[in-house]
Amino acid sequence: MAYEVLEDEPAGRYEVLPAETTGTGNAAVDAGNAAGTGFWRGAVRLAGLPVDTVANVLDLGRAAIGAPVTAVTGRTPDWLIPPDRRTLVGSSDYLLDKARSTKAGRAMVDPVNRDYEGGYTQAAGGALTGIISPQSLPQAANQAGLSLMGALGGKAVYDATGDPALAIAAGLAPTGLQQLTTSAVQRAVRGGEQGRKEMEQRVQELRNAGIDKPTVGLASGNKLIGGLENLLQSTPGAMGVMSRARESAIDALQARAQQAAELASPNRGALEAGQAIRSGVRGFKDAFKDRQAGLYDRLDAVIPPQTPVDVSRTRGTLSNLNADIPGAPALSKQFRNARIQSIEDAIAADTAAGRSGLMGTGSANQLPFEAVKKTRTLVGNEIADNSLVSDVPRSKWNPLYGALSDDMQAAANAAGLPANRAFDRATDYTRAGLARLDRIAPFADTPAPEQAFAALTRTTRENTSTLQAVKKSLPESARGTVAGTLIERLGKARNGMQNDEGTAWSPETFLTNWNAMSPSARAELFSGFKNAKEAREAVESVARATSMMRDNSRIWANPSGTAAATTARGMLASVPATAAAALGGVLNPWVPAGIAGGLVVSNGAARYLTSPRTVDFMVSRNGIPPRMQALQGMSLYGGGLLGLLSEAGN
């Protein structure tokens, strides 16, 4: 239907009448003009959509009431007849009518060539109003494509059937079909809503580990997709894409693990960690001795230094340690420790001096409390300082220390409750300290610092109590150095897979070493130092990501550096195939075309599976957000389909 203004009509009143066909004489220009007028007409109808929607609801209500009234009375009351929309302020017909009241407005909404009025070209122009708030060029193209197909398809159905309902259904079909296809693809990859949530969680965990661009197979956990990615890894045309995706993921994991190590300590390395362990153990030993001496010195306030102490237990223990082998006195000398023998002789001489009156006691088994206390302290120091090359083994010192303690305990009990409490406190501290020293002493006595770190690393597998004892003996900075060094070495590729710089990192090696540590050892190792919580979270995120890689596809299990070798082998292997293709092309041009097509397909598949957009699409609730569906529905109205139907009805 074409329109023109009758200039002789009263002011403010316009009427539409058929007009003769005009145009510029150039079909391309006329078509472009028609598309442009379709766009602006669609935009005007979008502006009038709110009022039109209310009017439509009211018209439906009138129809619901009017049908039975008309059936009963045989006539329809005026108030049930829908008003002319051109008189309804704010409606799309009203706005179009106002636009046509000016020459500029008519030029915007009516084609110069009347043959294009209500045609497909104008409908296509109107469909472009479906491009609303696109976030990217692909999204804009998608909106445009759906709007075009909807408007043109709906018009074609209406032209063929004259049924508005079928035309509307045809117009909505492209959006609905895309939605169905989208849902089907998403479900095939990650399942329903529960699968979507699981994929969303996987993507977040991968990002926590530093992998911002996971492949579809890795992000979804779909083993079929993972297998396809594994196949593409060795497929010409896709090898480079998959190799870059893999190396990017591994580099991200290595960077995240390095970040965890940095959080633990800036001072790392087997030498540095070993030195920190040895220094920490020796520092604890010195602090233990000082504290122990201070606790026993408190006994002097409740037990006078010259108080006689019965040392019968001590002398009996020494006698047992130096006893002869029955029937072999000469052989016994070979197993008797000379220093222990000398101590027994010295105590015998000192107690004999006491019997002769130097102590004024007359007892052969008594020594002053101060003498017993200092003797036991010296024996305790020997135990603390004991090493494999000591002239007296621990098996000799420990019984002697216990006997001296028993004699001191008896003296404290006899001195009263304050003395007994002071002695028990000192003894409990000493017992606990010596027990810890017994565990950690080997770490201080290693020939090289690196050996101390290696020994501590072994405790992370089973001997958690020793790890805990060593950790408690270290200052905060040393704990961080040990943890940071261990984190840094977890993913270091094995020697056979290492590069010339020694920096190759393997997710499989990381996961193997991580799983070799017991959960309790991890808890001990990653605590007790600055940034411990953050460091542990970082390294645990790497562990979860490497576990996903291993479980999903063998593509991630290859050690670092093999992807390049695989690519090189593929390129070499392709040389004969390329030559054969060239020869075949001389005889049949479809041969190289088919090969080229295969390369393009495999490359496209690899790019699709490694694209962040694809992952975002798969993890979204649906391919078209509800807001965009609403906007596309609006554009369908304004873009010409329903507008054209409305005008056709008018």
Q: pLDDT for 6-43, tens place per residue?
A: 444 444 444 444 445 577 888 888 888 888 888 888 88
Look up residue 181 and give its amino acid.
T
Cα–Cα distance measured from residue 403 to residue 376, given in angstroms and rounded to the nearest whole number: 9
The pLDDT-based confidence of 563 (bands split at 50, 70, 90) is very low
Question: Above 90 in pLDDT, residue 211?
Answer: yes
Structure-token match 């590729």, residue found: 493
The pLDDT-based confidence of 386 (bands split at 50, 70, 90) is low
**In 3-state terms, what secondary structure has residue 221?**
coil
| Higher pLDDT, residue 574 or 168 | 168
Q: What would the pLDDT profile of 236-283 be if each residue is shown by its tens digit?
A: 888 899 999 999 999 999 999 999 999 999 999 999 999 999 999 888
The pLDDT-based confidence of 117 (bands split at 50, 70, 90) is confident
Question: Above 60 in pLDDT, residue 592?
Answer: no
| Higher pLDDT, residue 557 or 253 | 253
Cα–Cα distance measured from residue 423 to residue 427, given in angstroms and rounded to the nearest whole number: 6
What DSSP letter does each residue of 54-109 carry, written as one string?
Answer: HHHHHHHHHHHHHHHHHHHHSS--GGGSPPPGGGSTTSHHHHHHHHTTSHHHHHHH
Q: What would the pLDDT profile of 437-483 be if each residue is shown by its tens digit?
A: 888 888 888 889 999 999 888 888 878 888 888 998 899 999 999 99
Instruction: Please give the torsion angle defined by the CA atoms of residues 210, 214, 220 and 226, in that order, rounded to the nearest 10 degrees.
Output: -130
The pLDDT-based confidence of 633 (bands split at 50, 70, 90) is low
Mark residue 558 as left, alpha or beta (left: phi above 0; alpha: psi -120 to 50; beta: remaining).
Answer: beta
Task: Round the CA-based radius of gyration of the chain to a whole number and report it.
Answer: 46
Cα angle value 171/173/177 (rounded, 5°): 150
Q: What would the pLDDT profile of 495-524 be if each residue is shown by its tens digit?
A: 777 777 778 899 999 999 999 999 999 999
**Distance in angstroms between the alpha carbons of the first and the last residue of the chain:** 9
Cα–Cα distance measured from residue 119 to residue 125, given in angstroms and rounded to the nearest whole number: 10
What are the beta bridge partners of residue 505?
A: 492
Position 435 scores a pLDDT of: 85
Buried b (16+ CB within 10 A) or exposed e, 312-324: bbbbebbeebbee
Question: Above 50 in pLDDT, residue 357?
Answer: no
Task: Say if residues 115 and 21 touch (Cβ distance below 8 Å).
Answer: yes
Percent of the chain with pLDDT over 70: 83
Cα–Cα distance measured from residue 330 to residue 326, given in angstroms and rounded to the nearest whole number: 10
Q: What would the pLDDT profile of 395-423 be if each residue is shown by its tens digit?
A: 888 899 889 989 999 998 998 999 899 98
What are the beta bridge partners of residue 325?
A: 328
